[in-house]
Amino acid sequence: MGHFALVLVSLLRGGRLMRRRLFLPFILLVILSLSGGCAGIPVREEVKVDSSLPVGKIEGNTFQGIRYPFKVSLPSSNWKFSVEIPDFMEGLGFKRPGLEEDELFLVNPVTKSNIQIDLTPAGRTARFNEKVIRTITGMGAGSMTEELRMEHGRDFPVEVSPTTPYSLKGVQFAAHRFVKYKLGKTPVIHGWVYGFSEPYQLFIIYMVLEKEGFNDLNDITKILDSFEMPSKK
C-alpha cells in the first residue's frame, strides 16, 4: 500500500496518522505525476491567508466564509454550525490534531452525523484537472477499509463506492467517494469530496450515522447542494 494512500486515510479519519497540512505535499507529488511534471513552473501567485480574520459569520441558516470565500447552508433546525471541534467527534474515531485544521463543522447533535469543511491554498506550481482530482479522491478507500478491519476484525464488512465526479457551485473540479459499514448496530456512511477552485483545494468529509426518524443522508446532500464558492470568470 502506497505511503500517499496511508496519509489520505489519515485525512479521512481526522488526522489519525498525520496533520492535514503534512498531507498536502503528497497531493503535490500525485499532481506532478499526473500532469506531466512541469515542476517549478508557477501557474498562480502565492496565496496568503490571514489567520487573524474570523473563519466566517452566520446569517440565519447560512454560514458565509470570511477567511476563505465560501458559503453553505443548514438544511433544517436539526443541524448546527460550529467553528469549534464538537465534543463527540473523537468518540467517532477522529483525532484532534486533524480536526483542528477544519474551518467549519456542521453537525446534527442528536444523531452525531457531521460534515467537516476545510480549504487550503494550492501550491504555486500545482496543476489540477479532472484526472488529478479523481485519482486523489479515489485513493484512501482501500486504506480506510484495512484500518477498519484492523480495528474490528478481518471479516468486518465494508462496502466501497466507486469514485465519481461531483458538482459543487463555483468549484472547477470535484470528485466523491464513500464507504459503508456499521458501528455496533448503527449503519454508517463515511464519505469525502475533494475539489479544486482556483486557487484553493477543498476537503469536505462527512459521516452519516443512521437513526430512526432522521434522514441525515438527504440532509447532507442538501448541504452539499448549498455549498458555493465564487465562480472564476
Which residues, in sequence order, are CB contacts of 198 under 8 Å at separation 6+?
A: 44, 122, 172, 232
| CA-to-CA separations, 111 to 38, 82, 140, 187, in angstroms, rounded | 47, 16, 26, 12
How far is it, in rounded angstroms, from Cα 23 to Cα 37? Answer: 19
For residue 199, say if its preceding peptide bond is cis, omega within 30 degrees of 0: yes
pLDDT at 95: 67
User: What percent helix, strand, coil does the chain show, rounded to 5?
Assistant: 25, 30, 45
pLDDT per residue as tens digits for the range 129-143: 998 889 888 876 777
How many other β-carbons are positioned within 10 Å of the β-carbon of residue 92?
A: 17
DSSP class of residue 53 equals S
| Mean pLDDT, rounded, for 115-128 | 87
Longest dimension (CA), the chain: 53
pTM value > 0.95: no
pLDDT tens digits, one per residue of 175-196: 999 999 998 899 999 999 999 9
| Exposed/middle/buried for residue 36 (C-beta within 10 Å: 0-12, 13-18, 19+) | exposed
Bridge partners of 190, per DSSP, are 179, 207
> At 151, is the pLDDT very low, low, confident or very high (cuts 50, 70, 90)?
confident
CB 197 within 8 A of CB 210: no
Q: End-to-end alpha-carbon separation of the chain, Å?
A: 40
CB neighbours of residue 116 within 10 Å: 26
pLDDT digits 0-9 by tens, 39-73 = 568 888 989 999 899 999 999 999 999 999 999 99
Per the structure block, which three cell numbers stand in for 66? 470570511
* Ordered domains of the chain (ranges, CATH): 3-40+54-226 (3.40.1000.10)
- The single residue listed with the C-alpha cell 505511503 is 3
Residues with Cβ within 8 Å of 141's Cβ and at least 6 positions away in sequence, in order, are: 160, 161, 177, 179
**Measured on CA atoms in the order 78, 83, 87, 92, is the torsion positive or negative?**
positive
DSSP state of 4: H
Would you give the DSSP letter of residue 14? T
Q: What was the pLDDT predicted at 34?
A: 46
